[in-house]
Amino acid sequence: MRYTLAPGDRINVVIYNVPEFTGAYQLMVDGTIMLPVIGAVDVEGMTESEAATTISKLYADAQVLVKPVIMVLLSEMSNVHVAILGEVNRPGAYVVTPKNGELPKLTQIIEEAGGITQQTNLQQIEIRRPLRDGTAEIINSSLWDLLTNGDLSQDIAIRDGDTVILHTATEIPPEVALQVGRANVSPGEIKVNLLGEVLAPGVQTIPTGTSLNEAIMLAGGFGPRAKKKTVELIRLNPNGTVARRKIAINLDKPINSDSNPILQSRDVILVDRSLGAKITDTIGNILTPINSIFSLFGVFRQFPGK
C-alpha cells in the first residue's frame, strides 16, 4: 500500500519553470497546505502523485498556469500517535517516529508496549483506524499467520490515530481442546516454520510424526553461526495463545517428549545465533537484515520460560 499524506507531514511542491510557486509545506491539522494564489488545498489521504494531480488541476482550472507540470515529494513524515490496549505489558498511548521514510509496523508498536502477555490471542488483533467522516475502519491481523506462514501482510503499517487492540484468549473447555488436538493428527503432512540459523530456513512441509531433530535435518541442519545446544519451540494453543519452551538438543536422541518431541502442525522452531556469532556481529557492527518475523520474536521473549 502506498503512503498517503497525513497532518504534520512535510512535502515539497515542485512546479517546473515556475520557481516562485515552488516551495516546502507542512500539512496543517485539517490536512491542507497553503499554496500561492489558489490558497488552501486539501491533500490529506492522497498519495504524492494524487496530490500533484489535484494541485495541477486547481492551478489550471483557476487559469493561473497552463498545463502545469507538478511534482509532490514527501520530505518528512509526521510522528505517529497510537494507542495500544488489551493484552500487552504496558498498554497506553505512544508516539513513534517513522524511520527511513516508513511507517512503524504492528510488531514494532507491540514491542514499544512491552510485548504480549500469556493471555494474548495472536489470531485476533484489531486495528481501529479513524476516517475523516467520523467513522472507523476495522482492520484485523493474525500475527500467528505472520509467524507460521511468513505472511508479511499481517504486520500492518500503523498510521497516526490508530488504536491497536490485543484481545484476551477465551478459555476452551477441555473436551473442545481435545477435539482440536485430534483433528490435527489426521493429515499426512503438516507445515512447520524453522527460523534463524539453519541452512534452509522457512516454512517446511513435513510428514506427520516428524520429530524436532528430523525437522532440523530436513532444513539442512544447523548453520555455522548457530547456537547448537538449545532451540526454542513455539506452539499455538487451541485458544489462540502460545506456549514457548527451550529444548536441549542432541541430534542422536530418539523421539521423546523432552529433547526430541513430535512436531505439530504450525509449530515454530527458532534457532538462535551462538554467543561467538553475536560478539562478532557486535564488534564488526554488522547490521543483519531482520524481517518482521524476527521482530515478532522479540515480542515472544516476554514470556517466562517453561
**CATH code for the domain of 14:** 3.30.1950.10
Domain stop point among 23, 52, 76: 76
Answer yes or no: is 204 within a domain.
yes
Domain stop point among 44, 76, 108: 76
Grid cell 513455539 is found at 234
pLDDT for res 50: 97
Answer yes or no: is 288 within a domain.
no
3-state helix, strand, coil in the chain (%, to 5): 25, 35, 40
Q: Which residue type, as a one-letter code, is found at position 234?
A: I
CB-CB neighbours of 222 under 10 Å = 20
Res. 155: pLDDT tops 80: yes
pLDDT tens readout for residues 259-279: 898 888 888 999 988 765 554
**Whether residues 105 and 147 fall in one domain:** yes
Domain stop point among 24, 54, 76: 76
**Mean of the per-residue pLDDT values of the chain:** 83
Asked whether the whole model's pTM tops 0.85, one would answer no
Residue 115 confidence class, pLDDT cut points 50, 70, 90: confident
Residue 301 grid coordinates: 521473549
**Whether residues 179 and 209 fall in one domain:** yes
Answer yes or no: is 278 within a domain.
no
Which residue, 101, 97, 105, is CA-closest to 48?
A: 101
Query: Which residue(s) pair with 34 in the sheet?
Result: 40
**Whether residues 147 and 223 fall in one domain:** no
**Whether residues 151 and 202 fall in one domain:** no
CATH number at 256 reads 3.10.560.10
Answer yes or no: is 277 within a domain.
no
**Whether residues 164 and 209 fall in one domain:** no
pLDDT tens readout for residues 43-79: 999 999 999 999 999 999 999 999 999 999 999 999 9
Residues 58 and 38: their CA atoms lie apart, in Å, by: 7
271 vs 169 pLDDT, higher one:
271
| Cα 255 from chain centroid (whole Å) | 35
Residue 271 grid coordinates: 534457532
Res. 9: pLDDT tops 90: yes
| Cα 300 from chain centroid (whole Å) | 13
Residue 290 confidence class, pLDDT cut points 50, 70, 90: very low
Which residue, 235, 245, 232, 238, is CA-closest to 304?
A: 245
**Whether residues 17 and 102 fall in one domain:** no
Residue 272 grid coordinates: 538462535
pLDDT tens readout for residues 175-233: 544 444 444 434 577 889 999 899 999 888 998 888 999 999 999 999 998 999 999 99
**Whether residues 253 and 182 fall in one domain:** yes
Answer yes or no: is 279 within a domain.
no
pLDDT for res 36: 95
**Domain range holding 24?**
10-76
**Whether residues 253 and 187 fall in one domain:** yes
Which residue, 234, 198, 205, is CA-closest to 219?
A: 198
**Whether residues 181 and 146 fall in one domain:** no
Number of domains in the chain: 3
Residues 153 and 170: their CA atoms lie apart, in Å, by: 25
Q: Give the burial string for 146-179 (b: 16+ CB within 10 Å, else e).
A: bbbbbbeebbbbbbbbbbbbbbebeeeeeeeeee
Residue 169 grid coordinates: 484468549
Contact 84, 15 (CB under 8 A): no
Answer yes or no: is 180 within a domain.
yes
Residues 292 and 276: their CA atoms lie apart, in Å, by: 24
Answer yes or no: is 113 within a domain.
yes
List CB contacts of 257: < 8 A, sequence separation 6 or more: none
**Whether residues 179 and 268 fall in one domain:** yes
Answer yes or no: is 142 within a domain.
yes
**Whether residues 179 and 203 fall in one domain:** yes
**Whether residues 236 and 261 fall in one domain:** yes
